[in-house]
Amino acid sequence: MTELKNDLILRALRGETVERPPVWMMRQAGRYLPDYLKLKAKYDFFTRVQTPELATEITLQPIDQVGVDAAIIFSDILVIPQAMGIEVLMEEGKGPSLPAVIKTQRDIDALRIDGVEESLRYVTDALSLTKKELNGRVPLIGFAGAPWTILCYMVEGKGSKTWDKAKQFAYTEPVLAHQLLQKITTITINYLKAQAKAGADVVQVFDSWAGALSPADFKAYAQPYLIQIADALKDEVPVILFPKGTWYAIEDLSYSSASGIGIDWTITPQQARTFAGNRVTLQGNFDPSKLLAPIPEIKKAVREMIDAFGTQRYIANLGHGIMPNVPVDHAKAFVEAVKAYPGPS
Ligand code: CP3
């Protein structure tokens, strides 16, 4: 195995001393880089995801062009519903849609949870190829959606601001909801284990819509499944949990077997540290929209963010995914400011 030349993110996740905080950006692969947009014009979404050579090329773009300290494999969280036998369409400008929504016991019984090593082999192939192409430059992050967020898409059938149909399902059919969440959890654990075997050095679990739930409902429908995933993976690969919009859960999750917790920009670094203690590494939490500010403002805000988090047990990142309209120079300024800390770059 090629030795890593830059293992900052792994050391930060283990709580070891680092010279400076590592930096990467959620959704850094795809979305805003001009070279990605060229590939997007040529190949449809699932062709890009399912062709290891294309997925690898897209994964490497931000490493070569923006200088981040970790690669995240180009894929999507909705490959799990696909592997369970559900059709997923990705329409330009509309986002994902899943025409056959889950409603009944029969729908849940029909979902497949085994065979992920075969059905998602294109992801593990992309990870192995990317690992080879990276040649130890930076660690490679694998990922999956959290069970609650995947349930949201499977029940709602498309994106939503309120996720009221998904919540209605949970509140009116709690037994079915928990069966569905458990099935998603089981396949996700197998999937993340396969990713670790294929070369992922870290895995992140995206609970993008956890913040739609109240604290009590997060505890019922999201947290136990996040903890199950972290427990199942802990001996194979460090796990970062990112339950967006759930600052109140940081303390509980800091006692879990996760190595890192991703946080959004609605909490101060000091408050997050108070909840997390020194038990877990924090990742975040730059407002992605702030990358649209003038470059000197971005750099100043990055320095303030690191002043507040401190340089240890910390991974500099955004509080959610980078937006498609961010100029590449601004993304670079964010990364450069972290690398130059404590000085101006
Ligand atoms: O760094 C990366 O971008 C790696 C690849 C990646 C994609 N999706 C590619 C993608 C990752 C990590 C994801 C995760 C993902 N997918 C999440 C969790 C992260 C988050 O942003 O909260 C969610 C909720 C999805 C579901 C999804 N996939 C949506 C809502 C959309 C449409 C809107 C959007 O985000 O652009 C997608 C499509 C998608 N997934 C695109 C990309 C690059 C855009 C389609 C395209 O470029 O053709």
State whether CATH 3.20.20.210 applies to domain 8-339. Answer: yes
How is residue 178 written in tokens?
């928990």
Q: Which residues does residue 260 pair with via DSSP β-bridges, in sequence order?
A: 240, 281
- 163-203 residue pLDDT tens: 999 999 999 999 999 999 999 999 999 999 999 999 999 99
Give the integer Cα–Cα distance in Å for 119 and 112. 11
Mean pLDDT of all residues in 97-109: 98
Helices (H), the chain: 8-14, 34-42, 45-50, 52-65, 79-83, 105-109, 116-119, 121-134, 147-156, 164-172, 174-197, 215-221, 223-233, 250-254, 269-276, 295-309, 328-340
Confidence grade of residue 30 (pLDDT, cut at 50, 70, 90): confident
Q: Which tokens hold the place of 50?
A: 């399912």
Average pLDDT over the chain reads 97
Domain residue ranges of the chain, discontinuous segments joined by +: 8-339
Cβ neighbourhood burial of 235 (10 Å; 0-12, 13-18, 19+): exposed
Q: What is the average per-residue pLDDT within 266-289?
A: 98
Nearest CA to ligand 1 atom 13: 76
Query: Hey, what's the torsion of the CAs at 27, 32, 38, 44, to 10 degrees?
Result: 40
Complete DSSP assignment for 295-326 = HHHHHHHHHHHHHHH-SSSEEEEESSPPPTT-
Global pTM exceeds 0.85: yes
Q: 75 in ligand 1 pocket by Cβ < 6 Å?
A: yes
Question: What residue's CA is closest to ligand 1, atom 35?
Answer: 95
Distance 27 CA to ligand 1 centre (A): 7
Establish how many alpha carbons lie within 13 A of residue 87's alpha carbon, considering only the half-sphere containing its beta carbon.
4
Q: What does the alpha-carbon distance between residue 78 and residue 91 come to, in Å, rounded to a whole number?
A: 13
pLDDT at 315 over 80: yes
Burial class of residue 172 (count of CB atoms within 10 Å of its CB; 0-12, 13-18, 19+)? exposed
Please name the residue whose Cα sits nearest to atom 46 of ligand 1: 45
Query: Measuring from atom 33 of ligand 1, which residue has the nearest CA?
Result: 95
Reported as a pLDDT band with limits 50, 70 and 90, residue 334 is very high
CA quadruple 261, 267, 268, 272: dihedral sign: negative
pLDDT category of residue 119 using cuts at 50, 70 and 90: very high
Residue 149 in tokens:
């967020």
Q: What is the pLDDT of residue 31?
A: 85
Q: Are 285 and 320 in contact (CB under 8 A)?
A: no
Note the pLDDT tens digit of each residue in 226-274: 999 999 999 999 999 999 999 999 999 999 999 999 999 999 999 999 9
If we measure between CA atoms, which residue out of 84, 97, 111, 232 comes closest to residue 159?
97
| Residue 92: band (very low, low, confident or very high) from pLDDT cuts 50, 70, 90 | confident
- Look at residue 1 in the predicted model and tell me its pLDDT: 67
Q: Where are the alpha helices (DSSP H) in 6-104?
A: 8-14, 34-42, 45-50, 52-65, 79-83
Whole-number percent of the chain with pLDDT over 90: 96
Q: What is the mean pLDDT of residues 46-60?
A: 97
Tell whether the model's pLDDT for residue 317 goes beyond 90: yes
Q: Is the CB of 178 under 6 A from ligand 1?
A: no
pLDDT the model gives residue 32:
86
- Sheet containing 239-243, strands listed edge to edge, beginning at the edge strand earlier in sequence: 71-72, 140-145, 202-207, 239-243, 260-263, 281-286, 314-318
Q: Is the CB of 90 under 6 A from ligand 1?
A: yes
- Residue closest to 143 by CA, chosen among 184, 197, 196, 84: 196
Q: C-alpha dihedral over 261, 265, 268, 270, to 10 degrees? A: 30
Backbone angles phi, psi at 90, to 5 degrees: -120, 105
Instruction: Give the pLDDT band (50/70/90) at residue 340.
Output: very high
- 56 and 126 in contact (C-beta within 8 Å)? yes
- Residues of the chain with pLDDT > 70: what percent? 99
| Tokens of residue 34, six digits | 């001009």
Q: Would you state the structure tokens that stand for residue 110, as one six-digit string? A: 């029909």
Say if ligand 1 is within 6 A of residue 81 CB. no
**Whose structure tokens read 């540290």?**
273
